[in-house]
Amino acid sequence: MAVEPHDPRSSAAQQKAAVLREALPWITRFHGHTVVVKYGGSAMVDDQLKESFAADIALLHFVGLRPIVVHGGGPQISATADALGVTSSFVAGLRVTDPEMMDVVRMTLLGRVNPEVVSLIQQAGAPAVGISGIDASLLQVRRAAGPAGEDLGLVGEVTHVNTKVLTNLLDDGLLPVVATIGRDAEGQDHNVNADLAAGAIAGALAASKLVYLTDVPGLYLDFGDKGSLISEVSVARLRQMLAADSLHEGMRPKVRSIIHALDQGVERAHILDGRVLHAVLLEIFTDEGVGTMVRPNLSEPGGVLMETAHLEDAS
């Protein structure tokens, strides 16, 4: 018969041991599997969240998963553009990119954001390596248009992912950190939405998981209604929501990329609140998880059932 410890230190140690024990089946389950994590939102600008994210990604690597970090840098690009007097504009959550803005994107992602993310993960002990979509033709693109055919300028739609580049890095024990700039057949660089790039990469690799870090707890049935957070949803239901134009503007690229990725064989996608410390670990290595999970089909008829988590204490 187990005896409850009276020493507070022993109690705390047992609680930690219980957490590790809960994580073990999930570590075993995903050992050797590829996980694509789209890094964005507050987790990219808050120092504590940045360090926590880097340590969590390093942990995924050291327990035997094969993480790939895909990042944009929206806030940083906007800040650089403002400092240089370049006007930012958006269509359906996508940044309109003229040649002047493309220079800002290159300067920010390749000169600042990617090196910082790589450095943070390296400081956490993992062998991160920075790569952009133009390296070895990783992200091949064509010029994209907005949902209603709007001219977005030098915004790229991924047409092909050179998966060999990433698999070679992973096979060599490295941790790729991808900056989302792509190149078309004529050699022109394009700005690629990081949500869409992450979905394209995950789909091309048939990754086990595609994880998005955002600034909201997950996907809402009614954005702004805390009680309508969706804990689980099918791709069929996401298609309905996208077609009905019922999604918040910033969520649309994520949903489109999730649909694409799961159509390509990705097992699960997760939309998480990156403002929550260790959100990635909680989702992958605990029984309950956090945020919204998307899977190809639910067991219920039609595959469209959603479970709503009521968040009375959410802020």
Q: What is the CATH number of the domain that holds 36?
A: 3.40.1160.10
Is the pLDDT assigned to residue 11 strictly greater than 90?
no
51 falls within a domain: yes
25 falls within a domain: no
pLDDT attached to residue 250: 73
Q: What is the pTM of this model?
A: 0.86
Geometric angle at alpha carbon 178, from 258 and 174, rounded to 5° = 110
pLDDT attached to residue 192: 96
48 falls within a domain: yes
pLDDT tens, 125-160?
999 999 999 999 999 999 999 888 899 999 999 999
Separation CA 239–CA 46 (nearest Å) = 33
238 falls within a domain: no
211 falls within a domain: yes
- 175-179/128-132 β-pairing: parallel
pLDDT attached to residue 146: 85
CB under 8 A, 24+ apart: contacts of 77-80: 77/104, 77/105, 77/108, 77/109, 80/104, 80/107, 80/108, 80/112
5 falls within a domain: no
pLDDT tens, 59-83?
999 999 999 999 989 889 999 999 9
271 falls within a domain: yes
Domains of the chain: total? 1
237 falls within a domain: no
User: What range defines the domain where residue 40 resides?
Assistant: 31-219+244-275
Q: Are residues 144 and 155 in contact, defined by beta-carbon separation less than 8 angstroms?
A: yes
